[in-house]
Structure 1
Amino acid sequence: MISIIIVAIFFIGSAFFSGVEIGLISLDKHRLKHEAGKSQSKKQLYNFVTNPDKVLGTTLIGTNISLIIVSSVFTAFMIKREIMSETMATLLLSGVLLIFAEIIPKIIVRNSCNTSIPKMFFLIRFFAFLFHPLILVLSKINNSFFKLFRIDKKSGSHLFTKDDLSYLLEEAEKDGNVKKEEHDLIEEVLDFRDLTVKNIMIPRTNIVGVKSDTPISEVINLVKELGFTRFPVYSTDIDHIEGLLVIHDLLELDDLSQPAGNFIRNAYFVPEVMKATTLLKKIQQNKTPLAIVVDEYGGTAGIISVEDLLEELVGEIEDEYDAQENDINKIDDTTFLVDGEVEIERLIEDYNIELDEGDYETLAGMLIEKFERIPRYNEKCMIKNIEFTIKQVTARKIEKVMIKILPETTEN
């Protein structure tokens, strides 16, 4: 009977120390430090968890003492009563200890460490006091090894993770020390560090490029239509980009019949796996406004500009073209360049464009229903006598649509 009681007590002890070990490691130390100024018990707990010798010494000594006693008493009890052999007793106990004194306690305490550890701290402190002589011996042995292998014991102890900084920002915003806008901007900067070019680029399906033999007069028409000031120039297809055409280079040009290939700048190519932070530095160093993104096979994956990178940090940026742009641009009496977000009702009432109302509210919604997917750049569809041409689109939404009202015919 005594053997069973001893096994039960030290089995519970093993489970306790296993849970406490993972709980002390998983504690939110920055939150605890913040709360330490308001509570003496939290201050004592913070001082304890920031002392690795005490944390590891208490939990490891407690766990090992419990395991040794449980194993010895349980095995001796089974052999003495001739219930099972020493090997079977060891195997049985190992499985039970692994599940009920290691895995389960660690899962439970890890998921509730910020509430459970403070409640158990009086017991933790008691065992730390009880094991103090052994902890001192272990600490001296550890320090000897650190000196022998020239390891800086404090190295890395002051490093902050992204989650740590996010928590500190939240607390600073609650206390009024940081404005919400400042908090959001810093969070964007933290997220930006994890982004690759592939996460930000305009995909190849949405690239508006021009062939190298395209006359400049046609390029100027594209500028008037779309408002773009930079175009990738390719030879045979978009996978064979030769350079970059910048409209500012054409301002004093008289002969508009010349091909676009005569005025290209060198293109800057980057892999899609490049970090966004690295690209931002390289674009600044190379003084190029646009980069061509290539995949692992050398094909064109997309394009990316300084504006795309900065918008990830500060939100939507309006350039000189965007600032003057309306959501509905009337090109002539029958042609309009319209934002995808414009409401159908507005087109009907303000511009007398005859469209049927449906379950959608916006022009983009109507076209997605018509195509049954996100359409590609320059795709067209007819509704009654109205031709819709997709002029700007991302992977997730239609941004610009050219609407052309054609003369009514019997076929229409």
Structure 2
Amino acid sequence: MSAQIVTVVFLLLLSFFFSGSEAAMLYLSRRRIGRPQRSQVRAQGAIEALLADAPGLITTLLIGNEFVNVALASVTATIVVPLLGNAVGAPVAFCIAFTLLVLFGELTPKSLALRYPDDFAVAAVHPLRFLYRTLKPVRMVVHCITNVLLGSREGARESEKRGLSDEEFESLIEDGLVKGIYKQDEAQIMQRILALRRLTAKELMTPRPEVFAMSEQTTAAEATEALRERYFARIPVFSDSIDKIDGIVLAKDLIKAANSGRGSTKIKEFAREALLVPETKKANSLLALLVMKRAHLAVVIDEYGGTEGIVSLEDILEEIVGEIFDEKDEETEEILRIGASTFRVLASARTDLFAQKVGFELPDGDYDTVGGFIVTKLGRIPVRGERLREGPLEFVVLRTEKSRVLSLLVRKLPSPSDRGDAE
């Protein structure tokens, strides 16, 4: 009997888990997940992935919960019926199972989950993700059966409720363009807005090697001096290494401090809390989060909590409206020297201009622009942050669109003789 009692306790814990998870996930699906701690960023990405298929998640939870409830009733009956007999034992077993399930399998876990939805979801997400993947074949069978039972009429009604898919929106935009309802640029903006649902923070971010960040021990005067050669309004601040970005400091705060006699103050005193997001976060969700938090910059974190890069509000807006030039930007300069041996190059720059400005001729090929050279060399559209070596030059892709490269960072690498002289 002791084994049976242990089984009942185990099944109650499972029922607690399924009911609480259902309540927490349903609650989070109706509101945005709160600002995560660094240790919770990976869990947040997993939660968002599960909520992206809310019907499948709920089906998984219901399957698990119903299985546990039936098993609990059966095990309770095997304990009580031998003691009291069939006539009395069956209704008593039912009452005991019902009471246990209501108290410990429904009311308590759901009350707890609704009081602490973020914490409950973070604790439950990894077992849930395992069950979600494991029960996929069972879900498919269940969905097939329910579709047959509901019939095509009910299915059509559900189709009306769910609204238009991305593909249907794309079709409407193209029809509007053909009929003259939209102009070409208006249609492109609408298509790019739809594309935000498919892009992730990792695809939009400035990759870690290109991130300009400062140690929290840097003084305001030192930071201001470093900013004389760089045009950054916001600078990530780290403690031990760039993997531990704890805040964001505004350049205007540093300049104000340096000019008001506080130049020796550490910049950590001016830092504001950094917004951390997982690399898998969708661009549309990220845009809404930045607006809600009134933030302009977010730190992109990988699954281990390390810094992958940074993404700004401007990065997302540029995916919609194209390259945004600030007052400091030289829009007419397709090739801009930003260091002794570093250039920012628009992909539309012609190869002859590139040779003139950079001092290196790209190989002959079926292309006229630097972007054409990159695509031809790789045989595909590169991703942001991708690197390419050509002779003494290293190309780093800064920005791309769906079908083209927009801008690059080009560095002249030191030759072996230069390195030998340096040594």
Instruction: Normalising by structure 2, report the TM-score.
Output: 0.47
Give the number of the structure whose alpha-carbon radius of gyration is greater.
1
Instruction: Normalising by structure 1, report the TM-score.
Output: 0.48
